[in-house]
Amino acid sequence: MASMENEIAHDFSPLLKVYKDGRLERLTGTATVPPSLDPRTGVHSNDVAISSEAGVSARLYLPAKPDVTTDLTRRVPLLVYFHGGGFCVESAASPVYHNYLNSLSSQGSIFIVSVDYRLAPEHPLPAAYEDSWAVFKWALNHSDGNGPNEWLNSRVDFGRIFLAGDSAGANIVHHMALRAGLQGLPAGANLKGIVLVHPYFWGKEPIGAEANNGAAAGDEAHAGVLWKFVYPSSENGSDDPFINPNMDPNVGKLGCGRVLVCVAEKDGLKDRGWFYSQVLKKSGWGGSVEVIEAKGEGHVFHLFNPNSHNAGVFMTQICNFINQ
């Protein structure tokens, strides 16, 4: 008979496993890389502490300066990015996100603030939301040019702010935009749009193909079960407004004018992305929402296969959305 230390209480592969003795084994997302001057793109990254007490930080990505034929004082859009990983794995220092955001910053000429929020289960939700809002507010504090970070003060156009994230990070994007709409932003700061990549939403009632395929967050960790694990104090489970925007009476109060929802044909969460767009259209929100679907691809394919043709097309679509 297996000892308790090897008995599994929760198996959320390929994200993590929890053993009956309380031990936690993260199966992915634990590797990290330091900030750097990326020789491939010329993007310079740096880490900043937002709250040393809570352990909240961010990684900043400064695109290479324009060449001498362009205006050296030209400011670039600000993108605040929230990584995925089911709220329980990955970080802003993860190699997959570091490499992706180097490329995104370079191709789109975008200043990026990549949020490093605390992870469940050590820090169950809503910790990730509060951390993400703290970083967003920290970035906004530079909108008058007098913030603590000179990169943000001198290079960012705060009239062109965007939020983006994948999976759990896309879920956070929605709630940050909603909070911006409800609480407002500082003078001179304009949240133009948000990008939700393969968003991690759910609900008690199956929609679309969910009833047949047992959709997953990631690969095999069922979305509803994982939600209960990362947010055990939620009173409404999978119909909590944090995971099911359709249950939120404030869903139509997003503080931006444009939304891009990205779904993938073979992603079990695809129907939730489409449903989210429908919820917004019916909510009374006055902005525009667009959905793009990557044919033949699965959940966060662009991170796993960044050099593929479809990943390249996808990055161009996001850059165009931000720079149009």
Quick check: helix, strand or coil at residue 44? strand
Nearest Cα to Cα of residue 262 among 313, 192, 211, 204: 313
Catalytic-role residue among 240, 267, 271, 302: 267
Task: Check whether the bond before 306 is cis (ω within 30° of 0).
Answer: no
**DSSP conformational letter for 4:** G
Q: Catalytic annotation on 131? A: no
Q: Catalytic annotation on 299? A: yes
Q: Catalytic annotation on 166? A: no
Task: Check whether the bond before 126 is cis (ω within 30° of 0).
Answer: yes
Residues 6+ apart with CB under 8 A from 223: 200, 202, 215, 216, 217, 238, 268, 269
Axis crossing angle, helix 127-140 with helix 168-183, rounded to the nearest 10? 60
Q: Please give the structure tokens belonging to residue 75.
A: 């400011």
Quick check: helix, strand or coil at residue 31? coil
Catalytic-role residue among 167, 175, 238, 271: 167
Catalytic-role residue among 44, 174, 198, 299: 299
Strand 56-62 and strand 111-116: the pairing is antiparallel
**Residues forming the active site:** 167, 267, 299
